[in-house]
Structure 1
Amino acid sequence: MQRSILSEEILWQAVLQRDPAFEGLVFYGVSSTGIYCRPTCSSRKPQRDRVCFFDSAAAAEAAGYRPCKRCVPQEAIAPDANVAKVLAVCRYLETQVDSIPTLAELGHTTAMSPTHLQRTFKQIVGVTPFQYADALRIERLKQHLRQGETIADALYETGYGASSRLYEKAPKQLGMTPATYQRAGEGKQIRYAIMQLPPWGTTKQPSFGWLLVAATQQGLCSVRLGETALELEQELQQEFKAAQLQPDDPELQQWVQHLLDYLGGVQALPALPIDVQATAFQIRVWEALRAIPLGTTASYSDIAQQIGQPKSVRAVARACASNPIALVIPCHRVIQKGGGLSGYRWGIDRKQELLSLEKQLAAPEKTDSDQAEG
């Protein structure tokens, strides 16, 4: 059976993290070399589009791949029983098109109690079995809509009992209504504004450069920092090819002003609404980032611990790097475990500026009596 995009993402994360829990349960082949490896192989990781997965060494060799001489994948290793059961649940959920099974049903198929299954599944996958199955259903719906099926037929084929249940979730899971998604986002309106920012701080150098702010009716969909206005506008057009881009309006200007006041050191950012499409893992990471207090920082391992996946440090770093909403989702507050600054999508210099700015914003203001005593 062909794996879903979701289950392959689980396996890919295991490879990136060199997770020993997946030993003996998955092997990956690299099309550019014709070699297959264990998930824990210490060799340089290939590009994702060159990787395919196998359930056994025999399956990889039957597909024409040679065993890696470094990790020797053909030598048997006893698999982790819990991971094996969780992967079996994933495969079972991928076959259930008409409905989402209950925890009791899933537990029966794996000889695990519903409570233990729920806890173990979330620990390994990062979401609950229901959230995983619901994401699978949305994935199937998207496939049917892209193939040109009517919304009614697509709903029936993917097991939605009523269209209202889908439309309630559509803005969060599709980023738009099913009808809009079916047209590849055509007609969706995105308001945007681009402005040059003044030099930052009391020294008046260096400047933050240019700022782009874009939003749908639901909230901010893109906040970017860049060197030129043209660069930022081209990136926006590339990201939202099928949408109707239009100049900003009074509501967007209010959000822009909040960002300008923040960058000017006038006030901290309020909780602005956002409208982004993301995986369940990315959403959990970004929510954790928004919970980091102003003027403080956290390490990638801190965030991994906070979301309950301590081995997912590299995946946390990738989620930070893919953040489309600069400043509002404060990925600049994440640093290396030793305290050093790590990479930042919009430049290390800007990251340092932002952290210095936030320390000033978080510092308690002196009262008149404090100043007199000082």
Structure 2
Amino acid sequence: MNGTKTYAAEAARHRAFETRDAGAEGHFIIAVKTTGIYCRPGCPARPPKRENVEFFDTTGEARGAGYRACLRCKPDEPAQGARVAKMITEACRKLERDENIPSVAALAIAAGFSEGRFHRLFKQATGLSPKQYALAKRVEKFRDRLKGGETVTAALYDAGFNASSRAYEAGRRLGAKPRDVKSGGVALTLKAAVARCSLGFVGIAMSERGLCALAFGDSAKAAREAVQARFPKARLVDADGSLSAALARVVALVEEPAGAFDLPLDIRGTAFQERVWQALRKIPAGETRSYSAIARAIGKPTAQRAVAQACGANKIAVAIPCHRVVASDGGVGGYAFGVKRKKVLLDKEAAE
């Protein structure tokens, strides 16, 4: 806990303490002469008079001067942010490792938080509930085992689905029957349709679960090919009017991206991708976020590149609004269907 130039001056330290500057955490320790205790810069206790305060660079120096730790802000323990991060990491490892998914109550007790607070902190950090996270990781492992050549039964048990009856749940999350995944999606059949819109042509694909692809093209043929590219081994079947209602809702969404959209989505991705996509869906229309902001929102502040890749892997444009993610320098950034379309979408939302 070494001091830096930012908080080296005593006046700067007084200012940081008086304003409870969160950025001062870890830079210095404040000690109160009248009580004999030392605190974090952000301690919520009543502030002492300035003449009764002295500063130290470390807790060790404060102890050496005869002060004892504050029982309220507990300066000898890891900061709250570090504690929460460690708790979330340990909970994730337990959810990935244990054969039976631990209950939220059990995880909360182990973490030292109430059940409600633990659930909120976990979802804030990962974008998923503990159960959703555990299931997503198992499905991810199940998919990898199938693609690696294992039988459905072996892959099911290796992935942590401890009963064959859970195959239905795994298949529902995969969005396809296990044998379809094992064969690379060859047996997967999707209904497809194309319509004209202000961005050219929009193509969609629907599975039994819902909308699984939304793509654009300069022609009807290009839009359909863009849909096929999202499921290269699947068989697309022309809907022949059966998707007219769904297609009308999609066109309405393209024309008014800020409007309500009630079609069910068939979202297929890794646990990390789904966390990113959930974060994208929380961006209000008319606003944008940088890749780094999304990375921080899902608790992975150094994963900007992985976030960008997850945005690029998004199969359901507009409904999962990856167009709302822009470059950190303020530039529009890239878009799978062209920067021009991205600008039009952003302009539509800004005008509403």
- Using structure 2 for the length normalisation, give the TM-score: 0.59
Paired with 2:257 and 2:308, the residues of 1 have a C-alpha distance of 30
Task: Report if the CA contact (8 A) 1:100-1:134 is conserved.
Answer: no
Taking the TM superposition and a 5 Å limit, the aligned residue runs for 1:25-40 are none
Taking the TM superposition and a 5 Å limit, the aligned residue runs for 1:170-185 are 170-172=171-173, 174-185=174-185
Paired with 1:264 and 1:132, the residues of 2 have a C-alpha distance of 34
Residues 156-192 of structure 1: CA deviation (Å, up to 9, x unaligned): 45443322223124222x2212243334334322111
Where 2:344 maps in the other structure, the secondary structure is helix
> What's the CA shift for 1:269?
4.2
Paired with 2:257 and 2:140, the residues of 1 have a C-alpha distance of 43
* Residue matched to 1:115: 111
Paired with 2:154 and 2:257, the residues of 1 have a C-alpha distance of 53
Structure 1: which 5+ runs fail to align?
1-79, 108-112, 201-207, 363-374
* Residue matched to 1:367: none
Residues 31-67 of structure 1: CA deviation (Å, up to 9, x unaligned): xxxxxxxxxxxxxxxxxxxxxxxxxxxxxxxxxxxxx
Task: Report if the CA contact (8 A) 2:126-2:275 is conserved.
Answer: no
Residues 282-340 of structure 1: CA deviation (Å, up to 9, x unaligned): 21221122122222223333323332333333332222222211111111122234533
- Amino acid across the alignment from 2:245: Q
Residues 220/147 of structure 1: CA separation in 2 closer, same or farther (3 Å cut): same
Residues 145-164 of structure 1: CA deviation (Å, up to 9, x unaligned): 44665534443454433222
Residues 276/267 of structure 1: CA separation in 2 closer, same or farther (3 Å cut): closer
Residues 114/296 of structure 1: CA separation in 2 closer, same or farther (3 Å cut): same
Q: RMSD between aligned alpha carbons?
A: 4.1
Paired with 2:282 and 2:125, the residues of 1 have a C-alpha distance of 23
> What's the CA shift for 1:251?
5.1
* Residue matched to 2:217: 226
- Amino acid across the alignment from 1:168: E
Where 1:212 maps in the other structure, the secondary structure is strand
Where 2:243 maps in the other structure, the secondary structure is helix
Task: Report if the CA contact (8 A) 2:214-2:227 is conserved.
Answer: no
Residues 277/291 of structure 1: CA separation in 2 closer, same or farther (3 Å cut): same
Residues 86/305 of structure 1: CA separation in 2 closer, same or farther (3 Å cut): closer
Where 2:275 maps in the other structure, the secondary structure is helix
- Amino acid across the alignment from 2:219: T
* Residue matched to 1:99: 99
Residues 147/322 of structure 1: CA separation in 2 closer, same or farther (3 Å cut): closer
* Residue matched to 1:164: 165
Residues 345/154 of structure 1: CA separation in 2 closer, same or farther (3 Å cut): closer
* Residue matched to 2:139: 138
- 1:330 corresponds, among 303, 318, 321, to 321
Residues 262/153 of structure 1: CA separation in 2 closer, same or farther (3 Å cut): closer
Task: Report if the CA contact (8 A) 2:217-2:226 is conserved.
Answer: no
- Amino acid across the alignment from 2:239: D
Where 1:346 maps in the other structure, the secondary structure is coil
Matched, 1:257 2:248: yes
* Residue matched to 1:246: 237
- 1:278 corresponds, among 269, 274, 278, to 269
Task: Report if the CA contact (8 A) 1:126-1:281 is conserved.
Answer: no
> What's the CA shift for 1:346?
1.4
Identity of counterpart residues, as a percentage?
A: 38
> What's the CA shift for 1:232?
3.3
* Residue matched to 2:342: 351
Task: Report if the CA contact (8 A) 2:175-2:209 is conserved.
Answer: no
Greater mean alpha carbon deviation, residues 214-223 or residues 288-297: 288-297
> What's the CA shift for 1:219?
1.2
Paired with 1:231 and 1:280, the residues of 2 have a C-alpha distance of 30
Where 1:349 maps in the other structure, the secondary structure is helix
Taking the TM superposition and a 5 Å limit, the aligned residue runs for 1:57-76 are none
* Residue matched to 2:288: 297
Paired with 1:147 and 1:320, the residues of 2 have a C-alpha distance of 26
Paired with 2:281 and 2:122, the residues of 1 have a C-alpha distance of 26
Task: Report if the CA contact (8 A) 1:190-1:216 is conserved.
Answer: yes
* Residue matched to 2:190: 190
Where 1:138 maps in the other structure, the secondary structure is helix
Task: Report if the CA contact (8 A) 1:137-1:158 is conserved.
Answer: yes
Paired with 1:266 and 1:131, the residues of 2 have a C-alpha distance of 27
- Amino acid across the alignment from 1:114: A
Q: Which has the larger radius of gyration?
A: 2
Task: Report if the CA contact (8 A) 1:216-1:275 is conserved.
Answer: yes
Where 2:244 maps in the other structure, the secondary structure is helix
Paired with 1:122 and 1:292, the residues of 2 have a C-alpha distance of 16
* Residue matched to 2:48: none
Task: Report if the CA contact (8 A) 2:212-2:266 is conserved.
Answer: yes
Paired with 1:266 and 1:134, the residues of 2 have a C-alpha distance of 31
Residues 210-247 of structure 1: CA deviation (Å, up to 9, x unaligned): 22111112111111112233333334334434423111
Paired with 1:266 and 1:357, the residues of 2 have a C-alpha distance of 7
Structure 2: which 5+ runs fail to align?
1-81
Paired with 1:131 and 1:195, the residues of 2 have a C-alpha distance of 35
